[in-house]
Amino acid sequence: MDITLEKVTLEEESILQNLVQFYKYEFSIYLDTIKLNDKGLFKPFNLEDYWTKSNYHPFFIKVDGELAGFVLVRSETNTEPNSIEQFFTMKNYNGKGVGRKAAKRIFDMFPGKWKIIQIQKNYPAQAFWRSVISDYTNDNFHERYDEEDARSSVQEFETDKKNR
């Protein structure tokens, strides 16, 4: 299985927004605030920062050349660490290592400090990120619960060439 990350262009935004519909459908089990509009669609993501700011990076996740998901990354600044804003793979790729390999490639692409956050009730995401980060860093990460953000799970770590 060939897993690649391809930078999303502004011309491909509609494709990314199509994938967002699947993401929001799956994510709606965790947040009651995610609702369909009167046309039967979820509200699209506001992706303006991804087209106008240099530290925002959208990627398609592809398996053997076919769309399998997406990842939205905000890279490190002087005041904020790298973060994965959104991460999604289609259900038919769950358990096949696609998300794990994509996440590790993102970590390699953006060395430095990282902060990954999952919402309180998304236990599958918490288990996924804990496992991936633990494996990637050889258990060299810090995990805490953010009481200010409804007890979200937060992992913090640093990457460099030694992690590769």
Tokens 């790729």 map to which residue?
93
Cite the beta strand spans of 29-121 per DSSP E.
56-63, 66-74, 83-89, 112-118
The structural domains of the chain, with segments of one domain joined by +, span 3-163
Tens of pLDDT, residue by residue over 33-92, are 899 999 999 999 999 999 999 999 999 999 999 999 999 999 999 999 999 999 999 999
CB 67 within 8 A of CB 17: no
Taking Cα atoms as reference points, which of 47, 51, 67, 53 lies closest to residue 6? 67
Rounded Cα distance between 19 and 69, Å, is 7
Report pLDDT for 163: 46
Whether 159 has a pLDDT exceeding 60, the answer reads yes
pLDDT computed for residue 73 by the predictor: 98
Closest CA to 113 of 158, 83, 73: 158
Homologous superfamily (CATH) of 3-163 is: Gcn5-related N-acetyltransferase (GNAT) (3.40.630.30)
Question: In this predicted model, what pLDDT tens digit does every residue of 129-138 receive, in sequence order?
Answer: 999 999 999 9
So what's the pLDDT on residue 164? 45
Structural tokens at position 24: 């929001």
Structure tokens at 1: 């299985």
Task: Give the pair of three-digit tokens for residue 55.
Answer: 């530290």
Stated as kind and residue range, the H or E segment containing 159 is: strand 152-159
- The reported pLDDT for the residue numbered 138 is 94
**SS3 string of 14-28?**
HHHHHHHHHHHHHHC
Determine phi and psi for 80, rounding to 5 degrees: -130, 145
Query: What confidence tier does 141 reach under pLDDT thresholds 50, 70, 90?
Result: very high
pLDDT at residue number 149: 60
pLDDT of amino acid 128 = 96
Confidence at 99, pLDDT banded by 50, 70, 90: very high
Rounded Cα gap, residues 164 and 148, in angstroms: 33
Per the prediction, the chain carries an average pLDDT of 93
For the entire predicted model, the pTM comes to: 0.92
